[in-house]
Structure 1
Amino acid sequence: MKTGFKRATVPLALLTLTALTAAGCGKGGNGSESDSVTVWMYPVIMDPKANSAYWDGIEKGFEAAEKGVDLRVEQQPWENRDQKLATAFGSGKGPDVVLLGPDQIPQFQANGALRPVDRGIEKSRSAFRPAALEAMTQDGKVYAAPIYHTVTSTLYNKRLLDRAGIARPPATWDELKAAAPKLKRAGAATLDYSASNEASLNMSFYPLLWQAGGRVFDDSGRKTAFNSPEGVEALTFLVDLYRSGAVPRSALTNANLFTDHALGRQQVAMGYTNTPADAALAAAAWGAENVIVGPALKGPRKQVGFGMPGGLGINARTGNPEGAERFVAFMTEPEQIRSMGRAGGFYSPRTDVTVEHEGAFAEEFEAALNHAFPGEPHPAARQLMALVSPEIQAALTGRKTPRQALAAAAREGDDLLARQR
């Protein structure tokens, strides 16, 4: 299984372009190879000054380690990243190296725009978390080298749990359902959810689907798989909570946000796809003594949360493949993994490297990595989300049953996948 993150309040990463440069793709204007390596990077470090300073330091560090190589890290905006990167790749003037997320790899690999990075991670391959490498793998080859890992987990408001007389935070679906009536009597909803069409399903419905043992795509990737008994079970669980008031009505307009929404306003007791940044905001708003970060929510068949790596991919048309591979190798060394994690608030994609964080909940999120699933990367993953989200809304609002909603989404999804063969 593999797909694509969220919170507008978080530095969760992913990617794409600037104006096409005359010297793009590690070549001079005449197309000859050079000793330059051009990297397209995105604002994965939230503070612009800190982001600039970090990559300036990387340029100096790499050039000192690799004499004679001119490294150019060009900062690009997140806006329209996929379209711009596709244009750059198609023109032959893209970067040598670019930051990619798992959900981008299937499309660009299928188009022949990427070359494997296996040689760049040859020495460090065995040190990576298996799930991180799997997320970056297509057809048995790795197409992006993980340099950081995002993670989400459960976040609880202790004040609301105490008010309802709940001593232990609900960690399973059954415990959550049992807690809901108590919280309702105490004037609070139970579970935060994001049902807006702008919300990523990796941060909303898909984790529930995975916890029920379901999948988004079948093994072939040519058909959807969520219209299954497990999928119906997951959506029924959600719909029952919504209709009983355990999921707040504001869920319909929440786009994976914390601030100014039900959880942030202390109107709901818990969320299940919350980031370290959310926990920090909660500590500031609720008081640190009222914040609990727990393990990933456990469903009837699996305990799983969402979290994915960000990694460096290499342009298939680079004029300097050796230099690009050396940069990939440099950025996946322990020292750079630690510095990247500290600067961006990320966690380590390597099992032998721990990123030291000062946050009060660093240990809890570190532990949550053991249950972090990067989704199901697929060339049509984002398009499919646009078809599924309205059907989930239809089920929540009672216009369709969970079974009807998923069946409708599957019909449209299978048509979409058939057109892309």
Structure 2
Amino acid sequence: MPLHMTRRALLTTAMAAGATGVLGRLAHAQVKTLNVLCHRVHQTNLTTGVAGNVIKPWEDKNNAQISWTTLDSNPLQDRLFREASLSETDFNVGYIIDNRMTSQIASLFEPLDDLRKAEPIVAQALRQSMTVGGKLVGIPVRHATQGLFYNEELLQEAGISAPPDTLEELVEQAKKLTFTSKSGTPVVGMILASDLAVFPVMFARAFGGDFIDKQFQVVPDPEAMEKGLSVLADLFKAGALPRSYATTRNDDMVTWMQQGRAAFAVLPFARYAQLNNKEQSTAPGKIKAIEFPGSKTLGSGQEMHPVVEAWAMAIPANSADKKLSWSYIRFVASKAATLDMARNGNGPVRSSTYAEPSFAGSQPQTKVEAAALAKARPAFPAFPEAARAQSTFLEEVQLAVLGRKSPKEAVAAIVDRIKPLMPA
């Protein structure tokens, strides 16, 4: 009898354990997973910062968890478009840059107009670039308007009382700030990434030039582009750009500024909180931003147009559970989430966010950013060969900056090589 009871008890226990396991697996299966493909900055702004984890209330309400896949800008776009071109994809939401949204790319994503009618979402700024062929295919979530960041402590150490008012002053200060600081840290005057068109375009615009205008004219003012590349080449020759310029990437710029290894950098205003993070920065509260200065040679009526990039959330047409995807987008695009993401370091796509005291209080450069955004333009318009054009442009820019071509030769090559890539 004792042996029989023991076996029964064991069997009962095993059955109970099995039932518990099944129930546990069932409960676990009920948790939905939303696969998001984005840049690390999008994940960070939604999960980390003074506003805390912004997306957690949505996860709790929907019994969902987000699986993040993060890549740098260009690899991210390539991966997203490949996934959206397949017969099906596991990704539910992808983040896309405004200058990549051509009609061909737009056809890979779910039109959102019907979803907006069923579950209205407040209209936002920067939506025009995400409306293709009369159809809305992306909801703006972030703008990255470029500003000039400077380390106030390093400027003061070098005897510079104020940041530059003109591009010429910027060059002069950058050269003076190429030194060894009191802490023994070697400092370069300026840190710039070499893999994005944003940076040479900013220097060309300082002289009234551009890369590709709205009419798809390549380098509409060759002389202005030559002047911009000449400035970059001069900075490199003087050692005011790092020797590693050709391999410098966006995140390197942030690291160098945080570590006090660079005095100036061109970065989105939204990077302010990250650059001044007390746990990461050697000069928290001392890394500030101004509008990128134009040249003193800019004619009357001309103004410096900083570069702005806009990111939007889109749903691949070949993905599953579009209802959950749209729920995520609606939440992230709400006024409350936009404000909280801005407090965490995001560039807000709602103009009303700039008037919120909780945002202005945590982001001292708010007024400067709003002023820059008002006159900002994308680095180039969207067209099918945009990625190839940017890559070609950067090849020639690097040759000029490194002194392997004259700026005049590089600009001529840019025009010759990129003109055939323009839309008919």
In the alignment, which residue of structure 1 is the partner of 2:25? none
Which one-letter code corresponds to 1:166 in the other structure?
Answer: I
- Secondary structure at 1:174 match in 2: helix
Equivalent residue letter for 1:333 = S
How far apart, in 2, do the equivalents of 1:396 and 1:383 lie? Answer: 20
Give the length in aligned residue pairs: 366
- Residue in 1 that maps onto 2:412: 407
Contact kept in structure 1, 2:272 and 2:288, CA below 8 Å: no
2:363 alignment partner in structure 1: 362
Q: Percent identity?
A: 17
Larger helix fraction of residues: 2
Q: How does 1:27-176 map to 2 (within 5 A)?
A: 40-42=36-38, 43=40, 44-46=42-44, 55=55, 57-61=57-61, 63=62, 73-78=66-71, 81-94=76-89, 97-106=93-102, 108-109=104-105, 112-118=107-113, 128-129=124-125, 132-139=126-133, 141-176=135-170
Cross-structure match for 2:204: 209
Cα-to-partner distance string for 1:26-81 (whole Å, 9 max, x where unaligned) = xxxxxxxxxx99663435223998699754532444x5xxxxxx978553343754
Which string of whole-angstrom CA distances, capped at 9 and with x for unpartnered residues, describes residues 166-191 of structure 1? 21111321322443565469986533
Aligned equivalents of 2:212 and 2:363: distance in 1? 33
Distance 1:109 1:239, change over 3 A: same
1:215 aligned counterpart, secondary structure? coil
Compared CA separation, residues 115 and 229, structure 1 to 2 (3 A): farther
SS at 1:230's partner residue? Answer: helix
Query: Structure 1, unaligned stretches of length 5 or more?
Result: 1-35, 64-69
Q: Contact 1:108/1:114 (CA < 8 Å) preserved in 2?
A: no
Q: 1:99 offset after TM fit, Å?
A: 2.8
- SS of the equivalent of 1:113 reads coil
- TM-score normalized with structure 2 length: 0.69
Tell me the distance in 1 between the aligned counterparts of 2:88 and 2:357: 38
Secondary structure of the 1:93 match is coil
In structure 2, the gaps of 5 or more residues are 1-31, 182-186
Among 391, 397, 402, the residue aligned to 1:397: 402
Whole-angstrom distance in 2 between the partners of 1:98 and 1:364: 29
Aligned to 1:346: 346
CA spacing shift, 1:208–1:133, aligned 2, 3 Å: farther
Larger Rg: 2
CA distance in 2, matches of 1:244, 1:214: 24
The alpha-carbon deviation at position 93 of structure 1 amounts to 2.0
The answer to whether the 8 Å contact 2:112/2:138 transfers is yes
- Aligned-residue offset at 1:395: 1.2
Normalised by the length of structure 1, the TM-score is 0.70
2:247 aligns to what?
253
Q: Deviations over 1:265-286 (max 9, x none)?
A: 5454322225225522599543
Q: Greater RCO between the two (CA within 8 Å, min separation 6)?
A: 1
Q: Distance in 2 between matches of 1:252 and 1:84?
A: 24
3-state SS in 1 of match to 2:102: helix
**1:350 positional shift:** 0.5
Report the CA distance shift for 1:186/1:337 in structure 2 as closer, same or farther (over 3 A): closer
